[in-house]
A and B are shown apart, each in its own frame.
Chain A
Amino acid sequence: MKDLSSLQIKDIPDPWQRGIEGGWDVIDGARMEQDQTLEADVVIVGSGAGGGVSAEILAQAGLKVVVVEAGRLHSSDEFNMQEDRAYRNLYQEAGAMATADGGISILQGRAVGGSTVVNWTSSFRTPEQTLDYWRDTFGVQDLDRSALDPWFARMEERLKISTWTREPNANNDVLRRGCEAMGWHWERIPRNVSGCLDIGYCGMGCPVNAKQSMLVTTLPGALDAGATLVHSCPAEQLELDGDRVRAVRCRPLDAERRPTGATLTILADQVVAAGGAIHTPGLLLRSGVPDPHGRVGKRTFLHVTSSALGFFEQEIAGYYGAPQSTYSDEFVWRDGVTGPMGYKLEVMPMHPGFMAGLATGFGQEHREQMERLPWTSAALGIMRDGFHEDSPGGEVKLRDDGSPMLEYPLTDYVLDGARRSLIAQTEMLFAGGAKSVRPRHGDAREYTSLAQAKKGIEELRFEPYFVTLGSAHVMGGCAMGSDRQHGLVDDRGRYHHLANLHVFDGSAFPTSLGVNPQLSIYALAARNASRLADELTG
């Protein structure tokens, strides 16, 4: 049996310890008990993929940058690869976030570095089909692949992104074998790692700083260039003054995530919203920004994800090894960009707490799946939402207490995608050698042959809450587009209705992408932040 538990990981320098000792300006909101005001050329709300990249570029251009982050600072010395600590410290709602009606569970980071601290490192360029659709449907200009490719290349270099050439782990090898047997496309995944030990804990904070998340790349770069980071400090509201944002008002939280009672006001010439596609629209809604066509929070996309467990005779040990190293694009565009929902096939890492969420049922039925964890593979169908009129996505709204939530009605179009993607995953798992397969659906059984599984899936009810769906990619809600009826920001991320507000995160995407989103966010943020830097320093 594969066993890495005796492997010792030691002598890993924590860049944050060194940086803070060396004079980085890092302010812990938990210690902020008095009202305080900071001033900046640019304040960036959020320190994930969009905020991190923007911070480094703007700070290195000589601008005074303040990054404000709702999550706390956790860095490699704390990353002990245990799920209990990781989910509580690094994920929104301790990993248990969901859409408002509970129909789709959502994994999203909440920490300095955002979701980049916990993602599984898959790094794809935005597909041409997606960019063309944005141009043709939403009038997004100047954003074709020839315009973006230099920015992809720049971020691939900055974040050491390259195609994984080592052997995939057994979990990812199931995808390879299954797709080969089916005659389907498969390919290796480009990953943002350097010195990766191939141990499999990307989702819990990389213990060796091999993953090139914002935590070890752009945020240190920004701090070295003189930026200030305030963490544990949610932005509550943008203070408006005519057609400008005058300041960002924040409410720091103590180590227990209770308000300290202090208010931090950050006065800035320019404001970048980069809190991710739930919290950026939430901030804009709380602030009452001008929104003449009522677009803030609308068309929020999830890459709604179906999944299936495959049980094998041979060991899979899906908890060890690079979590995602193979994928299949066989079905992403096959039926046309605007046809029935397309989906990307990938696998996911399998740690016990995570598996407890994936295993169906309760009691003995659940336990029986848990006890086969070492022999289990988990497939994913990542469905591309937003490319069809019956896939309008969801809407971010505010709860009574001002916190954002996402309503995402599951249309028949999406549910049909779930059904078809589950059939494909089942085919792939059996072709990859699974002895039995359990599609994640409340009424599915464990099927021991493909014929039985197909018949079983055809008989299942594909209705909201019956099929078990998830998401790890939240996008949209502040869409790009030259048409102001539908778009809120231009192709440079500038908010149409305010003079100095910029949206540099995944919320600017007019649809989902059809690929894991991190590199798309990095490249767009890099381009837009560079243009903003040129403008401000030129």
Chain B
Amino acid sequence: MTAELGRRDFLRLGTTASLALGLSAPVAGLLTGCSSSAPPAQGYRHLRASDVALLAPLAPVALAGALPEDTDPERPLRVLDGLLHHFSPGGRKVLFQLLDLLQLAPARWYLTGTWAAFGEQSEEELKATLTAWSRSNSGFARVAQNAAIKPMMIAWYSEPDIALKTGYPGPPEKIV
């Protein structure tokens, strides 16, 4: 029930939430003038400067305890960028639409419960934000969080050196 009410609320934002990730034409319209068609950020193949700004503050919170001390803070984003390189263009577009949506304060408020941009929140505040977001009464908000941070977490732990920090001894050695 709540999820359904949430959806109707969301429709009032001027977009369609019927497909959390298939955010199609109406969202594209809403985002006119936004960064959807922006080029990749310096050093990235797909993530745009706006995505890097959005995700960079989230990475150390989502991956708390999983970043070795001397980790380059942008490495989780570059790893995600590498994963996105193997998405279909349609799959990347869907993720970018979600990230674009999270740039908009009203959408951010609806989804995460906070107006402030992630970059303006302290790590503690971001932790509270992600926690509240993950417990949202709106199923749509929950699936959006998964879509926004899970690929980065999967890609992170798929890195051979990071994988070994879970107690996993690693695969056999293939010698060609």
Contact = CB atoms under 8 A, between A and B. Distances in A.
Interface of A: 1-10, 12, 14, 77, 79-84, 87-89, 92-98, 100-103, 199, 201, 207, 256-257, 319, 351-357, 361-364, 366-368, 370-374, 399-401, 403, 405, 407, 442-443, 463-466
Interface string B142-161: 11101101110111111110
Contact of B65 (A3, A199, A352, A363): A363
B88 interface: yes
B167 interface: yes
Given A4-B172, A96-B83, A367-B65, A465 B143 contact: yes
A97 B162 CA distance: 23
Interface string B51-90: 0000000000111111000000000000000111111111
Contact of B62 (A101, A362, A370): A362
Given A401-B90, A442-B134, A443-B135, A95 B169 contact: no
Interface string B118-157: 0000000001001000110001101110110111011111
A370 B157 contact: yes
B157 A355 contact: yes
A59 to B, nearest CB: 29
A95 B158 CA distance: 11
Interface string B82-107: 11111111110100000000000000
Interface of B: 3, 18-22, 24-25, 61-66, 82-91, 93, 127, 130, 134-135, 139-140, 142-144, 146-147, 149-151, 153-160, 162-163, 166-176
A1 B93 CA distance: 43
A352 B90 contact: no
A10 B140 CA distance: 48
A466 to B, nearest CB: 6
A368 to B, nearest CB: 8
A1 B19 CA distance: 45
B168 A465 contact: no
Contacts of B169: 1-5
Contacts of A466: 3, 139, 142
B143 A363 contact: no
Contact of A5 (B151, B159, B171, B175): B171
A83 B86 contact: no
A89 B154 CA distance: 15
Contacts of A1: 167, 169
Given A103-B143, A207-B174, A356 B89 contact: no
B157 A356 contact: yes
B127 A352 contact: no
Contact of B175 (A8, A97, A464): A8
A2 B19 CA distance: 44
Contacts of B153: 356-357, 362, 366
Given A9-B174, A403-B89, A463 B154 contact: no
Contacts of B151: 96
B87 A364 contact: no
B174 A465 contact: no
A56 to B, nearest CB: 27
Contacts of A363: 61-65, 127, 130
Contacts of B166: 352, 355, 370-371, 373-374
A427 to B, nearest CB: 27
A222 B158 CA distance: 35
Contacts of B130: 362-363
Contacts of B155: 84, 94, 353
Candidate in A14, A102, A319, A354 with the most chain B CB atoms within 10 angstroms: A102
A403 B139 contact: no
With most chain A CB atoms within 10 A of its CB, the pick from B82, B139, B155, B172 is: B172
Q: Chain B at the A interface: mostly helix, strand, loop or mixed?
A: helix
A111 to B, nearest CB: 11
A101 B20 contact: yes
A464 B169 CA distance: 36
Contact of A81 (B19, B88, B147, B172): B172
Nearest to A361: B134
Given A84-B155, A353-B157, 19 more contacts: A4-B169, A8-B175, A9-B173, A80-B174, A87-B83, A87-B158, A102-B143, A351-B168, A353-B158, A362-B134, A363-B130, A364-B64, A366-B153, A371-B65, A374-B167, A400-B25, A403-B89, A407-B19, A465-B3
A96 B89 contact: no
B134 A465 contact: no
A71 B146 CA distance: 27
A79 B173 CA distance: 10
B139 A9 contact: no
A319 B172 CA distance: 11
Most buried by A among B82, B162, B171: B171
A214 to B, nearest CB: 21
Nearest to A84: B158
A5 B164 CA distance: 11
Given A81-B171, A374-B168, A102 B146 contact: yes
A291 B91 CA distance: 27
A388 B145 CA distance: 32
A94 B87 contact: yes
A473 B113 CA distance: 36
A351 B62 CA distance: 19
A14 B174 CA distance: 12
Contacts of A367: 63-66
B3 A464 contact: yes
Given A102-B146, A466-B142, A93 B88 contact: yes
25 contacts: A4-B172, A5-B171, A8-B173, A80-B174, A89-B86, A94-B83, A94-B86, A96-B83, A97-B91, A103-B20, A103-B143, A199-B172, A356-B156, A361-B134, A362-B134, A362-B149, A362-B153, A363-B61, A367-B65, A370-B166, A400-B24, A401-B89, A401-B93, A463-B139, A465-B3
A101 B21 contact: yes
Contact of B142 (A81, A84, A366, A465): A465
Max chain B C-beta neighbours (<10 A), residue from A357, A362, A374 = A362
Contacts of B144: 102
Contacts of B159: 84
A96 B172 contact: no
Contacts of A81: 171-172, 174
